[in-house]
Copies of this chain bind each other. A is one copy, B any other.
């Protein structure tokens, strides 16, 4: 692997090539949110789980606080309890949509809790002292945990492993199921497993649930107008 360096005495100063950045662009573009109808039963071995977790642990964290906690779940009993929370929250969630949307909603498979060989619950544990960089924006610790999740998601795609983020659960129910410390907060619940293939586009785009936004709607120069 090429290692063109800025300074030969500092391996961290590695300069990546144009091909390297194109490869990352492909990984980013081809990452998908994977639902239960696509996971294979093949287990993910410990070495591979380490690669995923190392990607997460190398995320940026505000004030180097590393305020994350990961619970690796393979037990069907635990998954079943989580799935019960999904069923309850999903029924309540569906009702928030207008009648046409509600019908479409109920036809969507929105999780893969039981199908995915590995589930991963990711928590934020607040630090009891002031955190550098979090004094003006109190959500920064939570955001650090999300950066860890996104690192893991991309690493999974590069290993041809699918990840689905299930947010239709009651965070307090998940905390109880996993015996989480009282001050920990659920940030994400992931279903992880190998897949037969990855969809060519986000499922909700293909299904016409939402349209892709134009760049002009979301990118501004110097200020908003």
**CB pair A168 B210 closer than 8 Å:** no
Contacts of A212 in B (CB 8 A): 66
Q: What is the CA–CA distance of A30 and B24 in the complex, to the nearest angstrom?
A: 14
**CB pair A24 B220 closer than 8 Å:** no
Encode A27-52 as 1/0 by CB contact (under 8 A) with B.
11111110000000000000000010
Contacts of A160 in B (CB 8 A): 15-16
**CB pair A219 B70 closer than 8 Å:** yes
A179 within 8 A of B: yes
A131 to B: closest C-beta gap in Å: 9
Count residues of A near B (Cβ-Cβ below 8 Å): 115
Contacting residues of chain A (79-132) with chain B, CB-CB under 8 angstroms: 89, 92-93, 96-97, 105, 108, 110, 130, 132
**CB pair B25 A59 closer than 8 Å:** no
Contacts A28-B58, A60-B150, A71-B222 known; 5 new A-B pairs at CB < 8 A: A66-B212, A72-B220, A105-B132, A137-B186, A143-B146
Q: List 9 A-B contacts (CB under 8 A).
A: A10-B197, A20-B158, A24-B155, A29-B58, A64-B202, A66-B210, A71-B220, A142-B143, A143-B188
